[in-house]
Structure 1
Amino acid sequence: MAGWDSLYALVREEIKQREEEGADTSGFAEKLQASGQDEMKLMSIYEELRDLPISPDFPYSEPNDLQAIRAARPEGPRKLRLNASDEQLRDKFYGAWLGRSVGCALGKPLESMHFLEGHGGNPGWKNVKLWFEGADAWPIRDYTPGRSRAQQELGLELAPYGEKSQLENIRYMESDDDIRYTVLALSLLEEKGTDWDSWDIGKLWHQKLTYAQMCTAETQSYLNFAKVTHHLETERPSDWQTKLEWVRHYLNPYREWIGAQIRVDGFAYGAAGNPELAAELAWRDASFSHVKNGIYGEMFVGAMIAASFVETDPERIVEIGLSEIPANCRLASAVRHAVDIAKNSTGQLEMAERIWESYKQYNPVHTINNAALCAASLVFAQGDFERAITTAVLGWDTDCNGATVGSIMGAILGAKKLPEHWTAKLNDTLYAEITGFHPISISECAERSYKVFQKINNV
């Protein structure tokens, strides 16, 4: 059983992944083509790929170990002083949960390949614009319309699983993996505080999630975890670190994709004001299924979210996020470049086009391109919630980026300052397909996150 995709497709993606990691994959595309999809030949190619060294001229340094990551990071504040009152902090927690839900719901109907990777000769960001124009709703000022002339005229189609988030239908935050992982993180912090590691993530997923709820890297690590553990095993095995390397690597060419980055919010809320702790919790979580920039994406976003409970300047928040990941990694390089684009673009679409052209070589759900767009959206918006989330959904992983940027903006502004025409339509309700969170009020999730924060920080 290959997992998320066929063995042929996994090996094809592994070639690209190894090339991105700095290995010389010359000739492997031809080997794959000649395999005839024979399983033994495919596995032989896979083993060769796995053993390839990083080229000596690869310009980046990208460790997986937390101590090595910290040794390679720039200077940073590590922990910030929370000056807000109890009432203000509660408002920020509610704002973060609300903002995440709003941004996710805006992007969810757009999560089809026509908008993620493009269609009809157009890049994804342009098709988003064309959809809203076809609904007489451009520039974006509300949720995604379910009908547009672009459907008939250009063949564009919305995601079939996002109907309840369309403008005409939205009444709550419908179930989505971006929300599901947020409530899972909350439940883990409620149960264990900060006393957990990657082993606990595997057990949590197997207890709370079905195989069908997983995607890409999460699918592969979920399946691998099942192969190396007994379902009744409750204690971490003594050789877990050795097994972990296999769990997150084996037939997992998605190990630098966005899956880890979208899982961090619930952890980061518990570490509000403490970017270093948020990044550490992110590292523990991401390490179960990801490596290198896949890990850094979760650490970067986690640190930004934690900082957003204190800082208000988006550029400063991005800097704090970068201070928790290696200075000389592909993600840091991309984010710095994206911020420069955001600061030097004359408009939203110019910025979206320049970001797209800079990072279109990555899969639409890769960490690097999406994190770059999130950072650019925050800097470009300059504190405007609507401007931030509507920029973040211009292509690639629309719901994930809308959720991440919405979460950060919500923490910065607090719930009371979020535009009511966005928040009211959710009726303070979300569904997560997790026991106890289906449905639940968004405000209750926020209050529980605040209590977790108090517990972790002995407030």
Structure 2
Amino acid sequence: MTPVGTDLADRVLGGWLGRIAGNMLGKPVEQGDHWTRDRIDRYLRQAEALPLTDYLPEPLSERDGLELRPEWRQCVRGHIHGSCRDDDVDYAILGLDLLETYGFGFSTEQVGDLWLLRLPYLQTFTAERAAYRNLANGLKPPLTATYDNPYQEWIGALIRADVYGWTCPGVPRHAASLARRDAVLSHTGNGVYGAMWAAALIAAAFTAPTARSALDTALTVIPASSRLARTVRRVLSLHETGLSWEDTLATLSEETAGLGWIHTIPNAAVLTAGLLYGDDDFTRTITLTVRGGLDTDSNGATAGSVAGVLCGAEAIPPQWKAPLEDTVRSAVFGFDGARISELAERTVRLAEAAG
């Protein structure tokens, strides 16, 4: 088991490093309708990379390379020099800028204002792109989330939630309320609950002794009758019976069939399973989560954030940290090439200012 960290600054840095490393790990196979659990593991077996303890190996053939995301050349072991640009990291940076600009009393309208100012339209996807288009056409929240937006319960709001957890250490309900204010710009229903749950999960990880404890706490901030809460509880109960990770995910895959690989519900199941079966070990947590398939880079990023907060940066194994070279690429104006350590320091200042 990875030891539990104690120092706030080390844990916040662990969250940033974990998010970026988990994102990079999952990026090459981020295409859930193609890169299924079985296909990912077959790729890893062919490369003799199971059990997975490092970034993905480079493809053995040109054909394998063509099936990976085109960014794979900057995301596989031996070829990583700083992080790739990705929306899973852009939104963490944008959230940091939001809190520095407007404080913890920010409004949903101000979230939209900052998107228009800092975020290029073509670096948004699904619900975020729909909301961005609505903002540009003069709509205000909550119409930005509901007008011509078929992606309202997809995973986008969940991936924007980390900074609210990092800046509310040990205060999951406050983290969830901040995440909700952000999420309603583009999402409704389980899409919003996913953001609240993720923010609370990360905030709880600062004081929880285990990932299971953080998961239990995070469930308290969303409606118990919501499909998200019922799905998370289902994973918890299957884990408690001693069912294997593979069989748990197979069961949940059947029960969430038809929702699509970017929907919040099936991805929350994969993420919850990764945290539980990861046994509070950083490497095992992020690798199991990515091997679970679906939105691999988003799930790997959130799992890495939770696991990184639980153990702290110092305890994250060096194969995950060193290739990042303390550098992040970002489409957010003014932040490309920023130091990960500086982003973490700014996050800690916000957390300390909030008390």
- Residue matched to 1:101: 20
- Residue matched to 2:74: 164
Question: 1:345 Cα deviation (Å)?
Answer: 4.6
Distance 2:174 2:259 in 1: 29
- Residue matched to 1:117: 33
Distance 2:146 2:72 in 1: 31
C-alpha contact 1:343 1:380 (8 A) present in aligned 2: no
Task: Give CA deviations for 1:304-338 in whole Å, capped at 9, x if unaligned.
Answer: 00011111221111111110000101110111111
C-alpha contact 2:123 2:331 (8 A) present in aligned 1: no
Match of 2:47 among 128, 135, 138: 135
C-alpha contact 2:173 2:200 (8 A) present in aligned 1: yes
Task: Give CA deviations for 1:134-170 in whole Å, capped at 9, x if unaligned.
Answer: 2121221111122135946xx9711113421122311
Match of 2:344 among 446, 450, 455: 446
Distance 1:292 1:251 in 2: 16
Distance 1:140 1:352 in 2: 18
C-alpha contact 1:109 1:161 (8 A) present in aligned 2: yes
The alignment status of 1:399 with 2:309, answered yes or no, reads: no
Aligned in 2, Cα 1:396/1:92: closer, same or farther, shift over 3 Å?
same
Distance 1:352 1:330 in 2: 17
Distance 1:354 1:135 in 2: 28
Distance 2:115 2:146 in 1: 18
TM-score normalised by structure 2 residue count? 0.94
Task: Give CA deviations for 1:69-93 in whole Å, capped at 9, x if unaligned.
Answer: xxxxxxxxxxxxxxx97xx111101
- Residue matched to 1:73: none
C-alpha contact 1:102 1:406 (8 A) present in aligned 2: yes
C-alpha contact 2:119 2:333 (8 A) present in aligned 1: no
Letter in 2 for 1:453: A
The alignment status of 1:90 with 2:3, answered yes or no, reads: no
- Residue matched to 2:85: 175
Secondary structure class of the residue paired with 1:244: coil
Structure 1 alignment gaps of length 5 or more: 1-83, 230-242
Distance 1:290 1:451 in 2: 29
- Residue matched to 1:145: 57
Distance 1:384 1:299 in 2: 24
- Residue matched to 1:412: 310
Q: Which has the larger radius of gyration?
A: 1
Aligned residues: percent identity?
38
- Residue matched to 1:295: 192
The alignment status of 1:370 with 2:254, answered yes or no, reads: no
Distance 1:265 1:184 in 2: 11
Structure 2 alignment gaps of length 5 or more: none
Distance 1:388 1:351 in 2: 15
- Residue matched to 1:206: 116
Distance 1:188 1:100 in 2: 19
The alignment status of 1:423 with 2:321, answered yes or no, reads: yes
C-alpha contact 1:130 1:150 (8 A) present in aligned 2: no
Larger relative contact order (Cα-Cα within 8 Å, sequence gap ≥ 6) = 2
Match of 1:268 among 130, 147, 165: 165
Question: 1:177 Cα deviation (Å)?
Answer: 0.3
C-alpha contact 1:181 1:263 (8 A) present in aligned 2: yes
Distance 2:73 2:177 in 1: 36
- Residue matched to 2:222: 325
Distance 1:343 1:160 in 2: 39
Between the two proteins, the alignment pairs up a number of residues equal to 350
Aligned in 2, Cα 1:151/1:141: closer, same or farther, shift over 3 Å?
farther
Aligned in 2, Cα 1:289/1:301: closer, same or farther, shift over 3 Å?
same
Question: 1:353 Cα deviation (Å)?
Answer: 2.6
Question: 1:118 Cα deviation (Å)?
Answer: 3.5
Secondary structure class of the residue paired with 2:159: helix
C-alpha contact 1:178 1:263 (8 A) present in aligned 2: yes
